């Protein structure tokens, strides 16, 4: 493996000059630089980024702490789309992405800080973590630059990227109201997700603004899981036959709710209208197609990486980014024919 030392020897200069030439410093004579470049190419030289990282104390790598990278997580491409965005943005800025595996049981032996410091990543992006995760506390205490996805916490070294979940949920429910629904149920995620808290808020606001009844019995949690949401919808519709619409805080859960409606011998949207959240691929394929609030997951990832890189390279003022969502109207909320 060729090193700059080899180049120096062959080119008849010192390693310093080689380093300077290769890194494009100005204080190298034109002919020397050319000679060095030629030799480097001739010897098929590749710089050793490890050695460089050691001395520079920067690795040009970003650590990724994502949940759902296990066998079970395969069902939604939510994480993957974010990953794609992250990947593209870091590629553009010439950063490498390293996946920290939080899946393994061993993993929890190490603290967040240990994890990051060992790998010498310049910064970290975290997605899919619950709000009561002990790591979160550490993130705030640590001095490692970090961007959180969908957890709006800001500090000196921590920023975040998310969508306006209150508004998204509100728009979803307003759409249902517009379709003539007055008794609207909610199947939410769980209390340890910030998005759930906010989507609940949006739901409440939409109802209140329209002077509609709001019963706690109409709200259940489905943990973002399809089958749990199915069970929740079953209960909801059995216990509260007055419900004519359900807002689900994720498309996967909406799918579960649709199944529940079917099992009760009812139809979507004629008997019960369903609207989801996310706009996953499945939403436009299921029958009836699912109305939903589209989140641009790719962009979520892209912006997260951009933000982090900006934090690393410039002293950034704003460390938060809110991304738009969009109402997608499909068949599952078609107005009931009176």
> What dihedral angle (degrees, nearest 10) is formed by the CA atoms of 226, 227, 230, 231?
-140
Q: Distance (Å, rounded) from C-alpha 8 to C-alpha 16?
A: 8
Binds 28: which of DNA, a copy of itself, none (CB < 5-8 Å by kind) = DNA
Which residues lie below 8 Å from residue 101, measured CB to CB, with a gap of 6+?
A: 69, 107
For the chain, the C-alpha Rg in angstroms (whole number) is 26
Binding mask 25-64 toward a copy of itself (x if CB under 8 A, else -) reads ---------------------xxxxxx-xx----x-x---
Residue 149, strand partner residues: 127, 161
Q: Distance (Å, rounded) from C-alpha 125 to C-alpha 95?
A: 13
**How many residues are listed for the chain in this entry?**
338
Report the residue number, 119 or 334, with the smaller CB distance to a copy of itself.
119
88 contributes a contact to DNA by CB under 7 A: no
287 contributes a contact to a copy of itself by CB under 8 A: yes
What DSSP character marks residue 109? G
130 contributes a contact to a copy of itself by CB under 8 A: no
**CA distances (Å), origin 145, targets 95, 124, 126, 142:** 15, 6, 11, 8
Q: In the structure encoding, which two tokens stand for residue 188, read together?
A: 């939410």
Binds 13: which of a copy of itself, DNA, none (CB < 5-8 Å by kind) = DNA
Contact window for a copy of itself (CB under 8 A) among 96-104, 171-179, 190-198, 323-331: 96-104
67 contributes a contact to a copy of itself by CB under 8 A: no
Angle separating helix axes 15-22 and 30-42, nearest 10 degrees: 90
Choosing from 38, 43, 44, 56, the residue that interacts with DNA (CB under 7 A) is: 56
Binds 337: which of DNA, a copy of itself, none (CB < 5-8 Å by kind) = none
Output the smallest distance, CB 63 to DNA, in A.
18
Choosing from 9, 10, 37, 52, the residue that interacts with DNA (CB under 7 A) is: 52
Burial of 2 (0-12, 13-18, 19+ CB in 10 A): middle
83 contributes a contact to a copy of itself by CB under 8 A: yes
Binding mask 243-282 toward a copy of itself (x if CB under 8 A, else -) reads ------------x-------------------------xx
Q: How many CB atoms lie within 10 A of CB 10?
A: 17
The footprint of a copy of itself (CB under 8 A) covers 1, 46-51, 53-54, 59, 61, 69-71, 73-75, 77, 79-81, 83-85, 87-88, 90-92, 94, 96-101, 103-104, 106-107, 113-114, 117-120, 255, 281-282, 285-287, 297-298
């Amino acid at each position: 493996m060729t090193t700059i030392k080899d180049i120096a020897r062959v080119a008849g200069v010192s390693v310093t000059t080689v380093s300077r030439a290769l890194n494009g410093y100005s204080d190298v004579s034109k002919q020397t630089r050319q000679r060095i470049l030629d030799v480097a190419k001739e010897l098929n030289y590749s710089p050793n980024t490890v050695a460089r990282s050691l001395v520079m104390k920067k690795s040009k790598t970003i650590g990724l702490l994502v949940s759902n990278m296990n066998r079970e997580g395969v069902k939604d491409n939510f994480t993957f789309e974010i990953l794609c965005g992250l990947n593209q943005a870091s590629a553009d800025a010439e950063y490498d992405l390293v996946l920290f595996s939080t899946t393994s049981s061993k993993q929890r032996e190490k603290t967040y800080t240990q994890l990051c410091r060992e790998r010498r990543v310049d910064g970290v992006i975290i997605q899919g973590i619950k709000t009561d995760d002990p790591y979160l506390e550490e993130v705030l205490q640590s001095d490692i630059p970090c961007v959180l996805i969908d957890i709006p916490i800001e500090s000196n070294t921590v920023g975040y990227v998310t969508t306006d979940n209150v508004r998204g949920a509100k728009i979803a429910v307003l759409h249902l109201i517009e379709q003539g629904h007055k008794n609207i149920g909610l199947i939410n995620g769980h209390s340890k997700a910030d998005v759930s808290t906010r989507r609940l808020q949006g739901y409440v606001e939409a109802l209140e603004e329209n002077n509609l009844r709001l019963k706690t019995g109409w709200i259940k949690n489905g943990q973002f899981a399809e089958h749990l949401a199915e069970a929740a919808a079953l209960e909801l519709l059995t216990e509260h036959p007055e419900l004519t619409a359900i807002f689900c805080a994720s498309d996967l859960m909406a799918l579960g709710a649709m199944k529940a409606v079917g099992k009760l011998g009812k139809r979507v949207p004629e008997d019960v209208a369903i609207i989801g959240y996310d706009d996953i691929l499945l939403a436009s394929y299921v029958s009836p197609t699912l109305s939903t609030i589209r989140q641009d997951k790719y962009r979520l990832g892209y912006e997260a990486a951009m933000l982090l890189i900006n934090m690393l390279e410039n002293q950034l003022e704003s460390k938060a980014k809110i991304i738009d969502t969009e109402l997608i109207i499909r068949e599952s909320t078609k107005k009931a024919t009176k």
